[in-house]
Chains A and B, each alone.
Chain A
């Protein structure tokens, strides 16, 4: 019988999969249940530094922490790494801010059925961004491995493809069945930014609808910043503990930010603003136009509320709430 060969992806591993390093970090992390209420600008200033590797919650245009990403642009954070785990509008924003120089890419530069982001493509076609290729499932499981406190998880995806060849996965033999598997290195981000439906001041979070990977991302990351549609009491959390998706010890900062996923969809609350997302795609066609667009919408806005005001304010929000509840 021919001897089986085991391949190794040639992509760069941007983060250490060493579970013991994270155990040591978590051992010394303060787990006291104290109020973590703060502001968007303080949280980004305090917990995110240039060069950090970030993971973004939600699904590109669904339940995304838009206010936090805007602040990354406003504070001109640079040289970030990020997990492109269905990065659509979030990828568009980080590209607009030229905020990153490396990316684990499973889904980037597109906005699903809406089309492709011209400026995100500029960023990724420039040659200035280091990219390692993955699939969505692979990135999900890399977060899961980290959330489990493991250095890797075996899987049956990416095998036989160029996606594997440009990943940092390694083929291994199953010690029990001798099957070929793809070992996916755990992904421990420096900072996670998430948007949830409800959280208490300590960071206990509830999410309605799909979780995407937020539960695992929160457990896998060193520091976690959460914006929430609404801050609720600890009593309310304790009334239905089964609803707690992210527990307080994962979380470092909590900010109440109604409409915080705008122009993205917030399941059960408001639908995506398709007109505004279209404006983004149009503005990206020309670089000068895009700069003006970002200046107007983000850099010159004192905070996220001003951005909401510029795009229709409460009247627009009411319209998006109605659209969400059409069916």
Chain B
């Protein structure tokens, strides 16, 4: 978990604007703000803009999300900022994901009216992944999570690959950017829009990648090895971002 949060944090460059969800995405944004990106503007869908987070919020709307912030506004305004093209990243947490980066957080089962398991639904995820320029996803990787077909497309990735996202009417040049798991970091093939390995975490193998995905992940000839978290990153993560170990402690 520490590795996932650290890598995620490294992807948020100074000066960028990012909308985050609670849990791992929020921890990553906080870590980024306390390391290489002091001028990272963090936004929360409930209306918090640019807080200096003192601790992890438990809700994306609780008072921590506006602590020393620049503005407290409405959800409509946050989504309007995204729709207007202001926001670089959205950062979403674990869900079922397919090879095109489509996410399911709505249900398991094939009967919408009587689902086997009902989950919360989109929340702000569909809006954010439709409208922000780049979508980052952090999720533990296994066969269930990396699904051949998601039971329900809650949140758009590249839909059916190729140009289908644009054809669906979603804004041009937006879409899934990276997926960070406990095994590696993935991007997307520029043409087919299928998930592709970018970097493998230390100690992980290609067969780990394959055994923990129901679909075929593209393995290019060249990929990197993930740089381990530094002592400094870990110290800040453990002492400032998540001192009570709420997020780090999750397997």
Contacts and interface: CB of A to CB of B under 8 A. Distances in A.
Interface of A: 58-62, 84, 86, 88, 105-110, 112-114, 116, 121, 124-127, 131, 133-138, 140-141, 143-144, 155-163, 166, 171, 179-182, 208-213, 215-216, 265, 267-268, 271-272, 274, 324, 326-327
B121 A140 contact: no
Contact of A140 (B48, B58, B76, B155): B76
A159 B169 CA distance: 6
Contacts of B154: 161-163
Contacts of B171: 156
Identify whether the interface residues of B are mostly helix, strand, loop, or mixed: loop
A213 B63 contact: no
A162 B22 CA distance: 24
Interface in B55-98: 55, 58-67, 72-76, 79, 82-83
A121 B118 contact: yes
A109 B74 contact: no
A156 B59 contact: no
B165 interface: yes
Given A162-B152, A213-B76, 20 more contacts: A106-B122, A107-B124, A109-B118, A114-B58, A131-B113, A133-B106, A134-B122, A137-B124, A159-B156, A160-B169, A163-B153, A166-B112, A210-B47, A210-B48, A210-B61, A212-B75, A216-B74, A265-B61, A268-B63, A326-B54
Contacts of B102: 161
Contact of A210 (B54, B74, B106, B159): B74
Contact of A62 (B23, B46, B164): B46
B191 interface: no
B131 A140 contact: no
Contacts of A108: 118, 120-121
A161 B61 contact: no
Contacts of A136: 45, 75, 79, 122-124, 127
A90 B118 CA distance: 17
B115 interface: yes
A180 B169 CA distance: 5
Contacts of A213: 74-76
Q: Interface range on chain B: under 10, 10 to 19, 20 to 34, or 35 or more?
A: 35 or more
Contact of A155 (B46, B73, B75, B83): B83
Contact of A211 (B72, B106, B125): B72
Contacts of A156: 83, 130-131, 169-171
Contacts of A157: 79, 83, 126-127, 130-131
Most B CB atoms within 10 A — which of A88, A134, A265? A265
B167 to A, nearest CB: 8
B116 interface: yes
Interface in B114-157: 114-127, 130-131, 152-156
Contacts of B59: 59-62, 88, 112-113, 265, 272
B168 interface: yes
Nearest to B24: A113
B66 A210 contact: yes
27 contacts: A59-B46, A59-B60, A62-B61, A88-B59, A108-B118, A109-B119, A112-B59, A114-B58, A125-B115, A135-B124, A136-B45, A136-B79, A136-B123, A140-B76, A144-B76, A156-B170, A157-B130, A161-B154, A163-B122, A182-B169, A212-B46, A212-B47, A216-B76, A265-B61, A267-B63, A267-B72, A274-B58
B153 A106 contact: no
Going nearest first, the 7 A-B pairs with the smallest beta carbon separation are A160-B168, A180-B169, A210-B47, A137-B127, A59-B61, A110-B120, A137-B79
Contact of A106 (B65, B117, B123, B152): B123
Contacts of A127: 113-114
Nearest to B65: A210
A163 B115 contact: no
